[in-house]
Amino acid sequence: MKVRLHIKGKNLWRLCTLIVLCIVLSCCYTIITGVDQPATAVVGSTVNITVHVNNSCNSGGTAHFVFGFLTPTGWNTAQNAKITYTSTKGNGNMVLIPSTTIAPNSNGVNWPLYMKNTFGNAGNLINDVQWTAYESDVPITYANGDKISGTVNITFNNIGADGNPTEVKLAYFVANDQNGFTSDGNDGDSSPTTEYYNEFINTTCFTLTGGTGDLVDFCNPQLTTIDPPKSLDNDIVTLTYNNNVTKTALAGAPAVYLCATATMSDGTTVTVCGQSANTMLTQTTSTSGIYQLTFWPRKLFGAVAGQTVVSMTYFITDITGAKQVGYGNSSSPFTYKFKCT
């Protein structure tokens, strides 16, 4: 009895030492070698994406494989994307990492925020994209010298759940739950990278067509943007006009003006097109070429109780109202629908 206990304790110590060593030395360099992603899809359809991953381990250990996916917020990726993995170490499902899980080496934030802090919006121009974090359902055990290859398979159902045709740069990253986004210089084993994580931004914009909403273009700079990107008539919205995107008739103007026609819930239209303080977009600095107006749509369009502002079409004009700039520097107006999805 005594002897058995002694042996158990010894094994326990060995196990503990091994675990501690694994945690300290758990390192697999990882890289995304390619992404199979369609260039275009229709709103509401199912899209399949395959991410190819290679790992090269310079020590043995155990870790969950972590995968992150950047998509527009309105797509409800956590609900609509089903993700599995196949690898030379086995196959399984990728499951959502709870938002309460703190990522390693992240200064105490969760995975989605860690990704946002590290990779930002991956070149998307509208701050309405989000990272969704997944991990392998079981930890993966690896040995020193292991070369692991695998794929992450995304089945994205009801893509574009917000109903908006979209141009967006999708981005992916891979990591493990021991190292987080760290790297070292010990690239002595012909591994593909010295990072324990890897990011892949698809620089070609993914185009989503169809849908009932307005085009949301994350890829190309727009003459006008509205913040918050999704708002109702009872929000305080900031309209930004960026005169640096292309050469327009308004170049060099000290201030520009909003000329808008709103459609109300009862079908009536209200036009606000005077060049006054209410419609003036002021330049952020004297030569920035960026003009802003922050307004309350209900007040600007004089909505009465029981009436809401559904949408607006608008031009940006000079102080005389004679020079007008519309969508894409054309003569057709910009459009905006007041909605939350």
Partner 1 sequence: MNNHFIFKKQAYLFIAAMAFLFTSCKIEKVAPVAESAKDLTGTWKVIQATRNGTNLIPIYDFSQFSIKFDAATGSYNLINPVPFLVSADGKFSLDDPQYPFKLTFTATGGQPVATAFNYPINNGSRQIILTFSPGCAQNTYVFTFSKSN
Give me the phi and psi of 18, to 5 degrees please.
-60, -45
Site membership for partner 1, residue 109 (CB under 8 A): no
Stretch that binds partner 1, among 145-153, 164-172, 183-191, 234-242 (CB under 8 A): 234-242
What is the contact mask toward partner 1 in residues 48 to 87, using x (rule: CB under 8 A)? -------------------------x--------------
Shortest distance, CB of residue 230 to partner 1, whole angstroms? 5
* # residues contacting partner 1 (CB under 8 A): 18
- CA dihedral 323→329→330→334, nearest 10 degrees, is -90
Residue pair 312/334 in contact by the 8 Å Cβ criterion = no
Residue pair 227/337 in contact by the 8 Å Cβ criterion = no
- Which residue lies nearer to partner 1 by CB, 14 or 299? 299
The answer for residues whose C-beta is within 8 angstroms of residue 327's C-beta and 6 or more apart is: 223, 333, 334, 335
Q: How is residue 316 annotated by DSSP?
A: E
- Which residue lies nearer to partner 1 by CB, 31 or 237? 237
Stretch that binds partner 1, among 210-218, 223-231, 259-267, 326-334 (CB under 8 A): 223-231
| Cα-based angle 270, 297, 302 (whole degrees, multiple of 5) | 45
Cis peptide before 98 (omega within 30 of 0): no
Helix (H, G, I), strand (E, B) or coil at 4: helix
Site membership for partner 1, residue 91 (CB under 8 A): no
Stretch that binds partner 1, among 63-71, 90-98, 104-112, 228-236 (CB under 8 A): 228-236
- Which residue lies nearer to partner 1 by CB, 127 or 151? 127
Neighbours of 187 (CB within 10 A): 15
Burial degree of 231 (CB within 10 A; 0-12, 13-18, 19+): middle
> Pick from 229, 270, 259, 223: which is nearest to 242 by CA?
223
Member of 228, 254, 302, 328 binding partner 1 (CB under 8 A) = 228
Shortest distance, CB of residue 244 to partner 1, whole angstroms? 20
Q: Which two tokens stand for residue 207?
A: 């185009």
Member of 7, 12, 236, 251 binding partner 1 (CB under 8 A) = 236
Site membership for partner 1, residue 116 (CB under 8 A): no
- Residues in contact with partner 1 by the rule CB under 8 A: 73, 227-228, 230-236, 238, 292, 294-296, 298, 305, 340
